[in-house]
Amino acid sequence: MKLQARPTILAADKPGPNDDVGLVTKTRSRTQRPPLYKVLILNDDYTPMEFVVHVLERFFGMTHAQAFELMLTVHKKGVAVVGVFSFEVAETKVGQVMDFARRHQHPLQCTMEKE
Ligand code: TYC
């Protein structure tokens, strides 16, 4: 017959009255929301209204009616928020609008700012 090796519990391993036994503690860390960025479109005296309407339809998924209304707001007030996006999406949209305006030789300006 074989002798079974038994684990020896040393004094140092034995739980004492102040040890955490059977307690699971969780550190709750608040989940941070990623920052959002407003994309703004600015008025100028030269970009044709229809071009701005087209930009809003093409890059911001607006209907013709929505785009026309927002274009008029920018025309009257000087600036308007086109949408709110993650940094990467906002950056892409600004780039697309600026590139499209430049290619058509219109001075239309589009910027982003942290919300
Ligand atoms: N003010 C321009 C015009 O009278 C039209 C315009 C509207 C230009 C909105 C830019 O973001 C703009 N032709």
| H or E element at residue 64 | helix 64-77
Please give the pLDDT value at position 7. Answer: 47
Please give the pLDDT value at position 23. Answer: 60
Quote the ligand 1 centre to 100 CA distance (angstroms).
Answer: 15
* CA trace torsion 89, 65, 55, 81 (10° rounding): -50
Q: What is the pLDDT of residues 56-114, one digit of tens each?
A: 999 999 999 999 999 999 999 999 999 999 999 999 999 999 999 999 999 999 999 99
Beta bridge partners of 111: 40
Residue 15 to residue 86: CA distance in whole angstroms: 51
Please give the pLDDT value at position 11. Answer: 47
DSSP assignment letter at 75? H
Quote the ligand 1 centre to 75 CA distance (angstroms).
Answer: 5
Quote the ligand 1 centre to 40 CA distance (angstroms).
Answer: 13
Q: What is the pLDDT of residues 43-55, one digit of tens each?
A: 999 999 999 999 9
What is the rounded end-to-end Cα distance, in angstroms, of the chain? Answer: 77
Q: Which atom of ligand 1 is nearest to the CA of 49?
A: 5
Tell me the one-letter amino acid at 19: D
Q: Is the CB of residue 36 less than 8 Å from the CB of residue 84?
A: yes
Q: Is the CB of residue 102 less than 8 Å from the CB of residue 59?
A: no
Q: What is the pLDDT of residues 2-35, one digit of tens each?
A: 444 544 444 455 455 555 556 667 777 788 999 9
The model's pTM is 0.77
